[in-house]
Amino acid sequence: MNGMASDYNTSSQEEYLPHYLQKEDPFASKLSREADIVAGFYLTVIGILSTLGNGYVIYMSSKRKKKLRPAEIMTVNLAVCDLGISVVGKPFSIISFFSHRWIFGWMGCRWYGWAGFFFGCASLITMTAVSLDRYLKICHLSYGTWLKRHHAFICLAIIWAYATFWATVPFAGVGSYAPEPFGTSCTLDWWLAQASVAGQAFVLSILFFCLLFPTAVIVFSYVKIILKVKSSTKEVAHYDTRIQNSNILEMKLTKVAMLICAGFLIAWIPYAVVSVWSAFGQPDSVPIQISVVPTLLAKSAAMYNPIIYQVIDCKFACCRPGELKTLEKNSSKK
């Protein structure tokens, strides 16, 4: 505790003390025991469904890993990110909610915060890459003629390096991970923005490079796709059967990607709004009972994607390998 307090200079302490330095025990739950039990059960259900769903997608993908298209490789990477969040992060928060306090100390808090941000950032950047792939594939047809599997793997390396960099930056002394106001979870130290200009720069950098910019790219990509589809629907009707089938497959994959992005953003935007308010609004003005709801909603994002894969009637190889084989056979006869 004293080590954390030393991270703030005397003038910063006089102006503002974050919640985890104001009390003797920052890891004690500020919710009722009943509320913690409900949250624990909620996260348990979310964790089980997410693990089973994303595990199934990865397993089905592994059975035909040499035949996965570049777009499918990227989407499988998203399942890996979601599985990582469920396996690495959720057990910590589930145990803490049932224990009515965070029981893993500062080291566990920093690890949990890093893992959550690492996999969350990797998920969003993966979706950004997928949206760009869909945009180029639909709006610039020549793009698909040169994109190969090795390009997708290069993109994956960039995504994981990007997520590793931003998740590890706080350990370089320009940021930190800290307990949430309700005590039983940890996250980026958004409250540093209340203490210093350096803290504000850190928070603004995280917001821009790990939320605003990727989200802007996603929105731009799908808006352009929607406009392109509206203008070219009639043209597709004049293509031969093989091109029509290929176009249908690309649009199915695009619909899946759009729903995945929408589900992720719907789950995370409330949390982002609360975090920004905590960083730049009136100190400690977000009620604890309100701050826990966006956190729990964000933790459910990893569960949505496998459901989307199954609900959409798509020829996505991870879910419907037989249909893709049929399409390939039909194409080879042309």
At residue 334, the pLDDT reads 42
Give the confidence band of 146 by pLDDT, cuts at 50, 70, 90: low
**Domains of the chain with CATH codes:** 28-315 (1.20.1070.10)
**Token reading at 213:** 């910019």
Give the confidence band of 22 by pLDDT, cuts at 50, 70, 90: confident
166 and 210 in contact (C-beta within 8 Å)?
Answer: yes
pLDDT digits (tens, 9 = 90+) for 162-203: 999 999 999 988 889 999 999 999 999 999 988 888 889 999
pLDDT digits (tens, 9 = 90+) for 99-142: 999 999 999 999 999 999 999 999 999 999 988 888 888 888 77
At residue 97, the pLDDT reads 96
Name which of 276, 307, 264 is nearest 54 in CA terms. 307
Q: In sequence order, what are the beta bridge partners of 177? A: 188
Dihedral class, residue 11 (left if φ above 0, else alpha if ψ from -120 to 50, else beta)? alpha
Q: Where is pLDDT greater, at 331 or 164?
A: 164
Checking if the pLDDT of 323 tops 60, the result is: no
Computed over every residue of the chain, the mean pLDDT equals 81
Checking if the pLDDT of 5 tops 60, the result is: no
**Token reading at 164:** 């590793």
* 70-74, 111-115, 146-150, 271-275, range with greatest mean pLDDT: 111-115
**What is the distance between the alpha carbons of residues 262 and 111, in angstroms, rounded to a whole number?**
28
At residue 320, the pLDDT reads 45
At residue 72, the pLDDT reads 82
The CB density around residue 26, as the number of other CB atoms within 10 Å, is 22
Name which of 21, 6, 30, 24 is nearest 194 in CA terms. 21
pLDDT digits (tens, 9 = 90+) for 218-264: 999 888 888 887 776 555 444 445 555 556 666 677 777 788 888 88
Checking if the pLDDT of 321 tops 80, the result is: no
At residue 258, the pLDDT reads 83
At residue 226, the pLDDT reads 83
Give the confidence band of 86 by pLDDT, cuts at 50, 70, 90: very high
Share of the chain above pLDDT 70, in %: 79
279 and 191 in contact (C-beta within 8 Å)?
Answer: yes
Query: What DSSP string describes 272-325?
Result: HHHHHHHHHSSTT-S-HHHHHHHHHHHHTHHHHHHHHHHHS----TTT-HHHHH
pTM equals 0.83
At residue 12, the pLDDT reads 42
Q: Where is pLDDT greater, at 241 or 11?
A: 241
**What is the distance between the alpha carbons of residues 305 and 258, in angstroms, rounded to a whole number?**
11
Checking if the pLDDT of 330 tops 80, the result is: no
Checking if the pLDDT of 156 tops 60, the result is: yes
At residue 144, the pLDDT reads 61
At residue 9, the pLDDT reads 42
Give the confidence band of 37 by pLDDT, cuts at 50, 70, 90: very high
Q: In sequence order, what are the beta bridge partners of 28? A: 101
8-state DSSP, 141: G
Angle at 37 between CA 36 and CA 41, to 5 degrees: 115
At residue 327, the pLDDT reads 39
At residue 84, the pLDDT reads 94
Name which of 196, 197, 179 is nearest 188 in CA terms. 179
Residue whose entry in the numeric block shows the structure tokens 């990582």: 84
